[in-house]
C-alpha cells in the first residue's frame, strides 16, 4: 500500500503531521509513505506549484493525503503558478470528479455549532460536489473593455459530467437516508437546466431514492434554518465549495470537516482517492499551534475506508476523534485552548483505548 503525502502550505503540514501520527499508531503492515511538494512551497523549490515528480508520485500511489495550499505572498503570480493550481491540477489530472464532504454533528456537542443547539442537533448531510467542471475549469481570461479590464470564467456542464456525479450521489444516498437534494440555479443558468434535466433522468435508475431540487440561494438559507432536512446533496463545483464551508459552521468549525475526492480508478485495495480537510492553509493561524487537526485525521479515516479497504481502522479513528471531543479537548476554533499537538496526543491516546 502506497500513500503519497502532500502537506503543502500554512497549517497543511501542522495538521498532516497529526494525521500521520495516527496512521503510524495503526501499524498497518506493508505501508509505504512518499512525500511530495505542492503549493507555494513547491513553487519556491521547483518553480511550479505542482511539479511533475509530485504528480507522478500521486499516480503511482493508492491514495494521496493532502494538507492545504495557499499563500497570500503568491497573490500577484500569474494564475498557473499560484499554489491553488496544485490542488486543481491534481483533481483534474487524476480524474477525481467526485468530492464527498460529510458534515454531521457530534453527539452532545451541539453547543459548538453556530446554530441554536436544537437546530444543530439535526445536521447529518453528505455534500457530493462535482470536482472536475464548472467555472473552475471553463474558459477563462481577461480582456480590455469599455468599462476597464474585464474577467470571465465560463460555467458549463455537459450531460456526461452530470450523469457520472449524479450516479455517485444516488449510490451514496442509497447507503444513507435515500433522499437526494440536487442544488442548482436552474431558474437562471443554462448550465443548471441541463444539470437538473440530467439528474431527473438518472433518477429513473434509483426508484428507492426520493429526489428533490433546490435553488442554491434557498439551499444556503435552508442549511442554517433547518439542516436536518438534508440527507445527501449533489451539486456543482462552485456551489458545493460554498455550501460545504457553510455546513462546517453548522457542525462547529471548518477544522472538523474532512473530504474524499474519488474517480474511477481502482487499486488493489479500493478506489484511488485524494483526502484533504475542506479548509485551507489558514495563514492567519499558521505556525502558532492553533490549527484543529481533526479534519485531517478524519480525512485519514476516509482514506482508510475508501482507498485501503480498512473499514475497521477507519471506524477506530473516527471513534477516537468522537471520544476526545466528548472529553472536551478543543482548540481555539471551538472555544478551548488545546494546541494542535495536544489534540493529536489526545487522539493517539484515545486510539489505544479502542480495540
Ligand atoms: N484545498 C485547499 O488546499 C484549500 C482550501 C481552501 C482554501 N485554500 C487556500 O487557503 C488560503 C486561506 O484561505 P481562507 O482564509 O479563505 O480559508 P481557510 O479555510 O484557510 O481559513 C478560513 C478561516 O478558518 C480558520 N481555519 C481554517 N482551518 C482551520 C483549522 N484546521 N483549525 C482552526 N481554524 C481553521 C482560519 O484560521 C480562517 O480564519 C487561501 O490561499 C486559499 O486559496 C486552500
Ligand atoms: C483552494 C481552492 C481551489 C479550493 C476549491 O475552491 O475547491 C478550496 O476552497 C477547497 O474547498 O478545496
Ligand atoms: Mg473551499
Asked if 195 and 186 touch (Cβ cutoff 8 Å), the reply is: yes
> What would the grid cell of residue 245 be?
464551508
Reported as a single tens digit per residue, the pLDDT across 265-285 is: 999 999 999 999 999 999 999
Shared domain for 11 and 134, answered yes or no, is no
ipTM of this complex: 0.99
Reported as a single tens digit per residue, the pLDDT across 162-193 is: 999 999 999 999 999 999 999 999 999 999 99
Shared domain for 115 and 245, answered yes or no, is yes
Domain annotation covers residue 105: no
Q: Sorting pLDDT into bands at 50, 70 and 90, what band is 108?
A: confident
Q: Is 295 in the pocket of ligand 1 (CB under 6 A)?
A: yes
Q: Sorting pLDDT into bands at 50, 70 and 90, what band is 91?
A: very high
Among all ligands shown, which has an atom nearest to the Cα of 295? 1
Domain annotation covers residue 332: yes
CA–CA distances in Å: residue 9 to residues 56, 61, 282: 20, 21, 9
Average pLDDT for 64-68: 98
Q: Is 87 in the pocket of ligand 2 (CB under 6 A)?
A: yes
Q: Is the pTM of this model over 0.95?
A: yes
CA of 41 to the centre of ligand 1 (A): 16
Q: What pLDDT was estimated at residue 107?
A: 86
Q: Is 130 in the pocket of ligand 2 (CB under 6 A)?
A: no
Domain annotation covers residue 53: yes
Query: Best mutation site among 83, 131, 280 for ligand 2, i.e. most ligand atoms within 8 A of its Cβ?
Result: 280
Cα gap 115→49, rounded to integer Å = 38
> What would the grid cell of residue 166 be?
449524479
**Boundaries of domain holding 266:** 1-100+257-355
217 is catalytic: yes
Write down which residue in 209, 232, 251 finishes a domain. 251
Q: Is a pLDDT exceeding 90 seen at residue 71? A: yes
Write down which residue in 233, 251, 269 finishes a domain. 251
Q: What pLDDT was estimated at residue 123?
A: 96
Reported as a single tens digit per residue, the pLDDT across 195-224 is: 999 999 999 999 999 999 999 999 999 999
Shared domain for 240 and 116, answered yes or no, is yes
Q: Is a pLDDT exceeding 90 seen at residue 355? A: no
Shared domain for 118 and 44, answered yes or no, is no
Shared domain for 77 and 124, answered yes or no, is no
Shared domain for 164 and 210, answered yes or no, is yes
Domain annotation covers residue 197: yes
Count structural domains, the chain: 2
Q: What pLDDT was estimated at residue 81?
A: 97
Shared domain for 149 and 236, answered yes or no, is yes
Name the average pLDDT for the chain: 97
Q: Sorting pLDDT into bands at 50, 70 and 90, what band is 296?
A: very high
Q: Sorting pLDDT into bands at 50, 70 and 90, what band is 60?
A: very high
Angle, CA of 50, 56 and 60, to the nearest 5°: 135
Shared domain for 226 and 123, answered yes or no, is yes
- Which distant-in-sequence residues (6+ apart) come within 8 Å of 276 by Cβ? 65, 66, 67, 68, 87, 258, 259, 261, 296, 299
241 is catalytic: yes
Domain annotation covers residue 72: yes
Q: What pLDDT was estimated at residue 157?
A: 98
CA of 205 to the centre of ligand 1 (A): 38
User: What residues does 142 pair with on adjacent strands?
Assistant: 151
Distance of CA 181 to the CA centre of its chain: 19
CATH of the domain at 152: 3.40.718.10
Q: What pLDDT was estimated at residue 144?
A: 98
Which of 105-109, 127-131, 134-138, 223-227 has the lowest average pLDDT? Answer: 105-109
Q: What pLDDT was estimated at residue 78?
A: 94
Shared domain for 144 and 262, answered yes or no, is no
Shared domain for 314 and 282, answered yes or no, is yes
What percentage of the chain carries pLDDT values higher than 70? 100
Q: Is a pLDDT exceeding 90 seen at residue 318? A: yes
Write down which residue in 214, 232, 251 finishes a domain. 251
204 is catalytic: no
CA–CA distances in Å: residue 78 to residues 53, 54, 90, 252: 22, 21, 18, 35
37 is catalytic: no
Residue 237 Cα: closest atom of ligand 2: 7
Shared domain for 119 and 83, answered yes or no, is no
Closest of 7, 90, 4, 94 to residue 51, by C-alpha: 90
Q: Is 84 in the pocket of ligand 2 (CB under 6 A)?
A: yes
Distance of CA 306 to the CA centre of its chain: 14
Domain annotation covers residue 16: yes
Q: What pLDDT was estimated at residue 263?
A: 97
Average pLDDT for 105-128: 92
Q: Sorting pLDDT into bands at 50, 70 and 90, what band is 344?
A: very high
Among all ligands shown, which has an atom nearest to the Cα of 340? 1
Shared domain for 86 and 137, answered yes or no, is no
Domain annotation covers residue 271: yes
Average pLDDT for 132-155: 98
Amino acid at each position: 500500500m502506497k500513500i503519497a503525502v502532500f502537506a503543502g502550505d500554512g497549517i497543511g503540514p501542522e495538521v498532516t503531521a497529526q494525521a500521520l501520527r495516527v496512521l503510524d499508531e495503526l501499524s498497518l503492515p506493508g505501508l509505504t509513505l512518499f512525500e511530495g511538494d505542492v503549493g507555494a512551497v513547491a513553487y519556491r523549490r521547483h518553480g511550479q506549484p505542482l511539479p511533475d515528480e509530485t504528480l507522478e508520485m500521486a499516480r503511482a500511489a493508492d491514495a494521496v493525503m493532502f494538507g492545504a495550499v495557499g499563500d497570500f505572498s503568491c497573490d500577484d503570480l500569474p494564475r498557473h503558478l499560484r499554489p491553488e493550481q496544485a490542488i486543481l491540477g491534481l483533481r483534474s489530472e487524476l480524474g477525481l470528479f467526485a468530492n464527498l464532504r460529510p458534515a454531521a454533528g457530534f453527539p452532545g456537542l451541539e453547543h459548538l455549532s453556530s446554530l441554536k443547539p436544537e437546530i444543530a442537533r439535526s445536521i447529518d448531510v453528505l455534500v457530493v460536489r462535482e470536482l472536475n467542471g464548472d467555472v473552475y475549469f471553463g474558459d477563462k481570461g481577461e480582456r480590455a473593455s469599455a468599462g476597464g479590464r474585464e474577467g470571465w470564467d465560463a460555467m458549463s456542464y455537459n450531460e456526461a459530467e452530470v450523469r457520472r456525479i449524479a450516479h455517485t450521489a444516488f449510490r451514496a444516498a442509497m447507503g444513507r437516508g435515500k433522499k437526494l437534494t440536487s442544488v442548482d440555479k436552474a431558474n437562471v443558468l443554462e448550465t443548471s437546466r441541463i444539470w437538473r434535466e440530467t439528474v431527473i433522468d438518472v433518477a429513473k435508475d434509483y426508484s428507492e431514492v426520493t429526489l428533490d431540487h433546490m435553488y442554491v440561494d434557498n439551499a444556503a438559507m435552508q442549511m442554517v434554518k433547518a439542516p436536518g432536512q438534508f440527507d445527501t446533496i449533489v451539486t456543482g463545483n462552485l456551489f458545493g465549495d460554498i455550501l460545504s464551508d457553510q455546513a462546517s459552521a453548522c457542525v462547529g468549525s471548518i477544522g472538523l470537516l474532512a473530504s474524499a475526492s474519488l474517480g474511477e480508478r481502482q487499486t488493489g485495495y479500493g478506489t484511488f482517492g485524494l483526502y484533504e480537510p475542506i479548509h485551507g492553509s489558514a495563514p492567519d493561524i499558521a505556525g502558532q499551534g492553533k490549527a484543529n487537526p481533526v479534519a485531517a485525521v478524519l480525512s485519514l479515516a476516509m482514506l482508510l475506508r475508501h482507498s485501503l479497504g480498512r473499514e475497521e481502522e477507519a471506524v477506530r479513528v473516527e471513534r477516537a476523534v468522537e471520544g476526545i471531543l466528548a472529553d472536551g479537548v478543543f482548540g481555539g476554533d471551538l472555544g478551548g485552548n488545546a494546541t494542535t499537538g495536544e489534540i493529536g496526543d489526545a487522539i493517539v491516546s484515545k486510539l489505544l483505548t479502542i480495540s
